[in-house]
A and B are shown apart, each in its own frame.
Chain A
Amino acid sequence: MENPVMNTTLTYREALKQGIREALQNDKDVFLMGEDVGRYGGAFAVSKGLLQEFGEERIMDVPLSESGFVGAGIGAALAGMKPIVEVMTVNFSLLAMDQIVNNAATLQHMSGGQLHVPLVIRMGCGISKQLGAQHSHSWEPFYAHIPGLVVLSAGTHEDARGMLRLALLSPDPVVLFEYTGMLNLEKEVAVDSDILDISKAKVLKKGKDITIITYGIGVYKCLDAAAELATVGIDAEVIDLRVLRPLDEFTFLASVAKTHRAIIVEDAWRSVSVSSEVSARIMEKTFYDLDAPVLRLCGIEVPIPYPAHLEEAAVPQIQDIVNAVKKMIHHD
């Protein structure tokens, strides 16, 4: 902000597109394949114009064969290419779960280290706007469960733009979650800021009273909540996990050791969630630093309903976060 010349305003969609374009420009072995990524311009217009810019060889429309084209991506990666496979949304990715779990995540191990699968699978995730139960899932925890996968969550514009390039450098399969609900969201981003690391969580706001741990669509909500909490004198630290596997526990454990309180916020269902894991690690490793029980603020365990008011109530909102934190600190 001190130097406005260096900043630019971007939508999340534009940030994603910049990331893809940059990846295609940097490496001729990189290509994008997915449903409607070419002629249609991407189901969410993320890849609009890229077909014209890079041609059919690099921007491949694929039929509705999630298992088929994700498997083909794995094969291409085994054979030396760097495919970016777009699965339109996480909801459809279950059709490719066999390929992702049984093949991508497993081949290195069962070949005794001979095979590597440098593949990036991007998928839209989370609630958008009243898309109902089969188009609104937050299934990061499914993938975060699988050893062998690197699971990233782009909760900020900076990561939407920068994570893909680094993900393509990974010798191992990466599942990259993007958030369709944020596509039109505008944020100011540094023009040439470049993220350097996709192995660590990030402290987005420092604070001393409580640690708010989140990822994905929760990130901006938690930052807004922290801003509101500051007005009542609560200094919250906000951590974006960014990497859901392998989890960077060091960052949040260090924070909790400092603040003595933790709340974890995510849209995914509470049971067996990312927050379950984070919470458990806090208990296991910083138990004696805790001054209050760890709290999880997660999605209500219901398929996401269609009506707007129910949809909104099904996942944590800014005010829910504010209230939960206030309750933890003031006990009211």
Chain B
Amino acid sequence: MIEFLMPSLGADMEDGTLIEWKKRTGDSVKRGDIIAEVETQKGLIEIEVFDEGIIEKLLIEEGTKVPVGTVLALIDPIEVSLETKKEKPIELHPIQEKTTEGITQEAEREIHIKASPLAKKMAEDHHIALFQIKGSGFDGAITKEDVEHVIAQRDVIDKEKTVIETEKTVASSEAIRAAIAAAMSKSNREIPHYYLEKKIDLTKALTWLQEANEQRKVQSRLLPVVLFIKAIAKTLLDFPDLNAIWDNGLKPKKDINIGFVVALHNGGIMVPAIHQADLKTVDEIMQTLNDIIPRARAMKLRSSELSDGTITLTSMGDGGADAVFGVIYPPQVAIIGFGSISEQPFAENGMLGVRSVVNATLAGDHRATDGLTGSQFLNLLARNLQKPESL
């Protein structure tokens, strides 16, 4: 009998809630079939089976939360005849021992798939599991060409799949609350924060924005936050230590993916990432916001959007608080906060005037950087916002 376990889908996944069984007792399953849907902190995930056989028993009821590694179902492997099964029940123990972890199970299965060393390496590099590839070499071994074929196919499928995922990925508000609780507690527990604040004159930026918007259709007009995002991305190019994660040490990230905090109508937040914000134009960033904000509120985000952030921006918008001091989203090492924009008396060149001003803050992970870095970052951010045309 094969035990089907609650899979470990990520190093930080500890448990999952079995939302729905996609197969019933007596159903036959084969490798790659979706057997259930599991709710995780990252949303609803379809889980697949790596064995062939008939479902003997579903052990966990829908709606039950269980730790990773829990036996969810028993599968009667197809190769084993009834007689053998009766005669040698004891021999099943080694299998049980071996399959205590889903990952191991998968790895072991791959050993039996014949693939050329080159093909194996290519598949690994492209994160393609060997069982997904049909071999055309000696004895059905997977060759370089076979892998190349799958890569080409996947690029097409990936696009289609995203659409499907978008529709399907729904997380409950309780799950979201729990995820926030877990992440923020972890942050507070593990990250020694330092906080900095900088008052930034936005007069030029808003004037530029107004002029820019005059030439745009209503639906593509730019919001001030687009300038914030773009300015942060540009500034981060000079501060790689802030665009990073902490994983037993500082690990700067190549891509600048700015997590943008979206408040949900029924409470809770979602933080979808704006991928490679430094490479996007302000219009592209606006388009992205127009896409992800409604989806975030509908809880229809892709898992990559939820997990790829390398730094977070929280912006209060109109009528909000004057300043926000964020809690870093681990394993990131910084969060930038923008309070609401307000008209304030502002001294410049010895003259007092009224200006549009915003309070920008930075909360930094003191293990990763020091206040000086953060301070220099805010100064450059302020300067960049004085030149909106070059953002």
Contacts and interface: CB of A to CB of B under 8 A. Distances in A.
Interface of A: 260, 287-293, 328, 331
Nearest to B115: A291
Interface string B88-120: 000000000000000000000000000011111
B230 interface: no
B136 to A, nearest CB: 7
A324 B230 CA distance: 60
B143 A292 contact: yes
A260 B118 contact: yes
Contact of A289 (B118, B138, B141): B118
B240 interface: no
Given A291-B118, A331-B138, 10 more contacts: A260-B118, A260-B144, A289-B118, A290-B118, A291-B116, A291-B119, A291-B144, A292-B143, A328-B138, A331-B136
Contacts of B138: 292-293, 328, 331
29 contacts: A260-B116, A260-B118, A260-B144, A287-B117, A288-B117, A288-B118, A288-B120, A288-B121, A289-B117, A289-B118, A290-B116, A290-B117, A290-B118, A291-B116, A291-B118, A291-B119, A291-B137, A291-B143, A291-B144, A292-B137, A292-B138, A292-B141, A292-B143, A293-B116, A293-B138, A328-B138, A331-B136, A331-B137, A331-B138
B16 to A, nearest CB: 36
Q: Which among A287, A288, A291, A331 has the highest number of chain B CB atoms within 10 Å?
A: A291
A328 B141 CA distance: 12
Contacts, number: 31
B148 to A, nearest CB: 11
Contacts of A260: 116, 118, 144
A290 B122 CA distance: 11
Contacts of A290: 116-118
Interface string B118-149: 11110000000000000011100101100000
Interface residues of B, number: 12
A292 B141 CA distance: 9
A331 B137 CA distance: 6
Interface string B266-298: 000000000000000000000000000000000
Contacts of B136: 331
A292 B143 CA distance: 7
A288 B147 CA distance: 14
Nearest to B119: A291
Contacts of A291: 116-119, 137, 143-144
A279 to B, nearest CB: 14
A293 B120 CA distance: 13
Contacts of B144: 260, 291
A199 to B, nearest CB: 29
A288 B137 CA distance: 16
A293 B143 CA distance: 11
Contacts of A328: 138
Contacts of B121: 288
B127 to A, nearest CB: 17
Contacts of B143: 291-292
Nearest to B136: A331
B125 to A, nearest CB: 10
A287 B138 CA distance: 17
B353 to A, nearest CB: 67
Interface string B348-373: 00000000000000000000000000
Nearest to B144: A291
B176 to A, nearest CB: 44
A293 B136 CA distance: 14
Q: Which among B116, B120, B136, B141 has the highest number of chain A CB atoms within 10 Å?
A: B116
Contacts of B116: 260, 290-293
Nearest to B142: A291
A180 to B, nearest CB: 37
Contacts of B120: 288
A67 B149 CA distance: 61
Nearest to B139: A331
A39 to B, nearest CB: 57
A292 B136 CA distance: 11
Contacts of A287: 117
A287 B121 CA distance: 10
A331 B136 CA distance: 8
Interface string B137-166: 110010110000000000000000000000
A282 to B, nearest CB: 11
Interface in B13-61: none
A324 B77 CA distance: 39
Nearest to A328: B138
A290 B142 CA distance: 12
A290 B143 CA distance: 9
Contacts of A292: 116, 137-138, 141, 143
B142 to A, nearest CB: 9
B113 to A, nearest CB: 15
Contacts of A289: 117-118
A288 B136 CA distance: 18
Nearest to A289: B118
Nearest to A260: B118
Nearest to B141: A292
A292 B116 CA distance: 6
Contacts of A288: 117-118, 120-121
A287 B143 CA distance: 14
